[in-house]
Amino acid sequence: MSTDDVAALVAEIEGAERELVLRRFTHDDAWRLGCLLVELATERALPVTIDVRKAGQQVFHAAREGTTADNDSWVERKVRVVERFGASSYLVGLRARAKGHDFNALHQLPLQEYAAHGGAVPVRVDGVGAVGVVTVSGLAQGDDHALVVEALRTFAATLA
C-alpha cells in the first residue's frame, strides 16, 4: 500500500469515527451490539472472537468456531490501544505507518501488550465521548475493522 493509499485510508477512517456516535450505550446496548456481531459472523461463517466493553467492563464476549485463545490475546492488545490513544486500533496503526514508523517502536510499547492492528473501535456517545470499546479478532485487520464499523452503523440506526 502506497503512502497516498495509507493517507486516504486514514482520512476515511477518521471520517467514519466522527460519524459513529451513538445516542446512548447501556449494558443492554452492549449485549445487543455483541449479539448483532455474532449474527453477522454466523451468517458469513466467520471465525472471529467478539468483545464489547463499557467503562472498562467486559459486557459481552463470544468466540466462534475456528478461533483460539490467541484471539483473546489479540482482543486485549487491541483494546489497550483504543483505551490509551482514544481512536480505533486500525487508525492508530495506520497513522504510525503513514509517518514511516512501526507503532510499537514509535511509542516504546511492548508488542505483547499493545497491538495497533484493525478490529477495536471506540464506542462514543453524543455529548459524553468514548464510553467503551467493541473488538473483533480473527480476520485480516482491515476486515476485522470493517465488520465492527458495519455493526456499529447498523446498531446506531436502531437507536435513532
Which CATH number belongs to the domain containing residue 67 in this structure? 3.30.450.150
What is the domain extent for residue 138?
Answer: 3-159
Q: What is the pLDDT of residues 42-72, one digit of tens each?
A: 999 999 999 999 999 999 999 999 999 999 9
Backbone angles phi, psi at 75, to 5 degrees: -60, -50
pLDDT above 90: residue 103: yes
Mean per-residue pLDDT, 4-28 = 94
Domain count for the chain: 1
Predicted model pTM: 0.95
**Beta carbons within 8 Å of 157's beta carbon, 6+ residues apart:** none
State the CB neighbour count (10 A cutoff) for residue 115: 26
H or E element, residue 35: helix 27-43
Mean pLDDT in the chain?
96
